Amino acid sequence: MKSFIIAVPQPKIRRKYKRYSPLKANLKCYFQRYGMLTLFIVILFSGMIFGAVKAGMASPELLNKIDSVFSKFMNVGNSQTPAKTFMNSFTVSLVFMAVLYFSSLSPLGIFFIPTVMFFRGFEYGISSGFLCVNYGLKGLGYYITVILLGAFISSLALVYSSQYCIDFSVSMLFSMFGKGTSDGVNLKIKLGEMTLNCAYMIMIVIFASLIDTGLYYIVGGLFSF
C-alpha cells in the first residue's frame, strides 16, 4: 500500500517591530540629562512673566511710590563708590545662593528651592515691568543695557546650582526612609559635589556683579530718571 503524507501549512507568524523614532529617543535622552535644568529655567521665566504682568497691573499710586524709591536708589548709586555698588549687587545674588544651599540640607528643600527660583524670576520681572510701564522705551533700554547681562549670568549660576541642590534634597528624603540616596551615591560625596558646585557658581556671580557695576557706571550715566 502506498502511504500519503499530507503537509498541513503552518500559519505565518507576524512579528511586530516597534518603529524607531529618533526625535523621541533624542527628547528622552535630553530630559534624562537636562530635565531638571530645563524645569528650573521654566520656573525662572514663569516668575519673570508673572512679575512683569503684576507690574503692568499695579495701581498708579503704587507705581509712584516705586518711582520715588527708584529715584532715591539712583541718587544714592551715583554718589557711592564702585566697590559699594559691587557689594550691593553681589550681596543680593549671594543671599539667593545661600538660601538655595541651606534649603537643600533638608527634604523640605524640594518645595523651597523651586519657590526661591520663582521669586528670583519675579524680582527680575517686576523690575523690568516697572521700568517699561513708568519710563517706556527709555526704561526698556536701561534694563537691556545695564541690568540684563548681569542678571542673565547670575540667573544661569542660580539655575545650575538649583539642580544640584534639589538633587541633594531628594537624596536626603530617600535616606530618611532608609532607601539610600536617589542614585545610590553616598550622601557625604553628594554634599561635597554640591558644595563645590555652589562655590564655582559664586565665582560666576562675582563675575556677574562686576559686569553689573561696570555697566552701571559706563552706560547707566547715559540715562536720567
User: For the chain, what is the mean pLDDT?
Assistant: 81
Predicted local distance difference test score (pLDDT) of residue 23: 65
Per-residue confidence band for 11, with pLDDT thresholds at 50, 70 and 90: low
Tens-digit pLDDT profile for residues 141-180:
888 998 899 999 999 999 999 988 998 888 888 777 766 5
Cell of 172: 536626603
Q: Where are the domains of the chain?
A: 36-222
Tens-digit pLDDT profile for residues 74-118:
766 667 788 888 998 899 899 999 999 999 888 888 999 999 999
CB 109 within 8 A of CB 182: no
Give exposure, 66-83, as e/b (b: 16+ Cβ within 10 Å). bbeebeeebeeeeeeeee
Tens-digit pLDDT profile for residues 193-211:
889 999 999 999 999 999 9
This prediction's pTM? 0.79
Q: Is 40 left (phi over 0), alpha (psi -120 to 50) or beta?
A: alpha
